[in-house]
Amino acid sequence: MAAPSVSAIVRSGLRLLTVQACWNYERMIGIGLAYTSEPMLRSLPGGRTGARYRDAMRRATRYFNAHPYLAGLAAGALARAEHDDVPGEQTDRLRTALLGPLGAIGDRLVWAGTLPAASAVGLALSADAPAGIGAAALLALYNVPHIALRLWGLRAGWRYGTKVGRALGAPFLTTALRLVGPLAAGAIGVALPLVAHRLAGDLDVAGWTATAVAAIVGVIVLRWVAPRLGAVRLGLLAALAVLVGTAW
């Protein structure tokens, strides 16, 4: 098997950032996934004019709908399957099997975890920090993890190939899935009262401390009472409890 060159993998990594550029209702991000995989398929026997390359690209452009930040896992795994000369029917089954897990894990990790947590930290800092600090924190806390997730996925997908399911059990991923919800809820619970204070009036150090403690305690209690409550709803309930306590 002729493995892709380092430059080909780098190009695929950069193309991951554009995986949604050709989104459409018929194929979702299928064309973007093919565009991402293409540099890694050039080293197939026969090169870009060979039958293996053309067949692989035709399969790569088919329907695919999963979380874009985990699409690298599929791109790497499917490219590896093509290099390993896995039958086309089996490659198609692998593609279909990845749809649900990558979508569910990505939604839970990013949309219900990293994004609300980063947004809450940015809002909290914007409430009292110098101008621009909150926005910079939001951009850093959101973009650094999601870019790292994209690149890890591409590398892990190529490493495991048709056994890519093993990558979904990576210790860092399972730990992140367990912690990101409560962290997002806690961040929202702290941020909302601080933003309300910024809009409504002054709050001394004791008030800030009480707000943070109340939010954290509220998150812990609510997680115990309703462990399946989503991170955003959990954060909103914690913030509401703090606001009611402050008003009282």
pLDDT tens column, 85-111:
999 999 999 999 999 999 999 999 999
Mean pLDDT of the chain: 87
Residues 27 and 119 in one domain: no
At 62 the three-state DSSP class reads: coil
Residues 71 and 132 in one domain: no
Please list, in sequence order, all residues whose beta carbon lies within 8 angstroms of the beta carbon of residue 129, skipping any fewer than 6 positions away. Answer: none
Residues 213 and 124 in one domain: yes
Q: Which of 120, 92, 133, 131 is nearest to 188 (CA)?
A: 120
Residues 241 and 199 in one domain: yes
| Residue span of the structural domain in which 21 resides | 1-107+139-169
Across the range 213-229, mean pLDDT stands at: 71
Give me the count of residues in the chain: 248
Residues 151 and 192 in one domain: no
Across the range 189-197, mean pLDDT stands at: 79
Count of domains forming the chain: 2
In sequence order, what are the beta bridge partners of 24?
Answer: 28
Across the range 122-147, mean pLDDT stands at: 90
pTM confidence score = 0.79
Residues 4 and 51 in one domain: yes
